Amino acid sequence: MALLGVNIDHVATLRNARGGVVPDPIQAALVAEANGADGITAHLREDRRHIKDADMTALKQKIATRLNMEMANTDEMVSIALALKPYMVTLVPERRQELTTEGGLDVISHLEALQENTKKLQNAGIKVSLFIDADLAQVEASKASGATIIELHTGPYCEVFGTQKQAEKLDLLMKAAAHAVKLGIEVNAGHGLNCENVSPVLALPGLIELNIGHSIISDAVFSGLGPAVRRMKDLIS
């Protein structure tokens, strides 16, 4: 059964809208865990637009499950991760103007820098995952980087879910996941997943974990966070 990592960035976005302390992303993480989350994902962005450094420290201290720190492959972020020691780092591309992570990492073009920092993080006992598009060449470059995990970008599949293009995008994910398994790489997946589109993704070869944020927090507005996490967890189960 795939693990569920709940991304709590959006709780921090709401908190920061008023500059205060509520809603508290740490409380959200604890509620998510109490309702079946297997891990907590938080993205410390260069511009700190949602999660702040203090949130990462508090998450590391307070959660009982796995902390997945999403971050760009920069010297600043690598040194924060080395001090924090999350269970896992997921390296993502980052652009200041984007609303959310828009595409996968170009591992082929940034192979050297990724190799160097992957080794540094792994030497500190931190697992390294690379967020990539469902592309066989990027899967191979991920293997060459030394990372032992990839997170496949499910956004393009989610965008065409329910249309004629769904099968084609799902097939790309399936092939990329199968290739990763062949190379001995673990497979995570995420971005844009919700209760309607998640089921076909559960069939990805080698799938270990799904990272889901926006749809769970959106459902939580109407049903409460606990029931929203539980609903997704039950679907995955």
Q: Which residues bind ligand PXP (CB under 6 A)?
A: 7, 9, 43, 70, 90, 92, 100-101, 131, 151, 190-193, 211-215
Q: Which is nearer to ligand PXP, 123 or 160 (CB)?
A: 160
Q: Which is nearer to ligand PXP, 31 or 213 (CB)?
A: 213
Q: Which is nearer to ligand PXP, 96 or 123 (CB)?
A: 96
Which tokens hold the place of 175? 């092939």
Q: How far apart are the two ends of the chain, measured CA to CA in Å?
A: 6
Which tokens hold the place of 224? 């409460």
Catalytic residues: 43, 70, 191
235's enclosing H/E stretch is helix 225-236
- For the CA atoms of 179, 182, 188, 189, the dihedral, rounded to the nearest 10 degrees, stands at 20
Instruction: Give me the least distance between CB of 5 and ligand PXP, in Å please.
Output: 8
Q: Is the dihedral of CA 37, 72, 11, 124 positive or negative?
A: positive
Instruction: Give me the least distance between CB of 196 and ligand PXP, in Å please.
Output: 13
Instruction: Give me the least distance between CB of 198 and ligand PXP, in Å please.
Output: 10
Task: Locate the DSSP E strands across 137-221.
Answer: 149-153, 186-190, 207-212
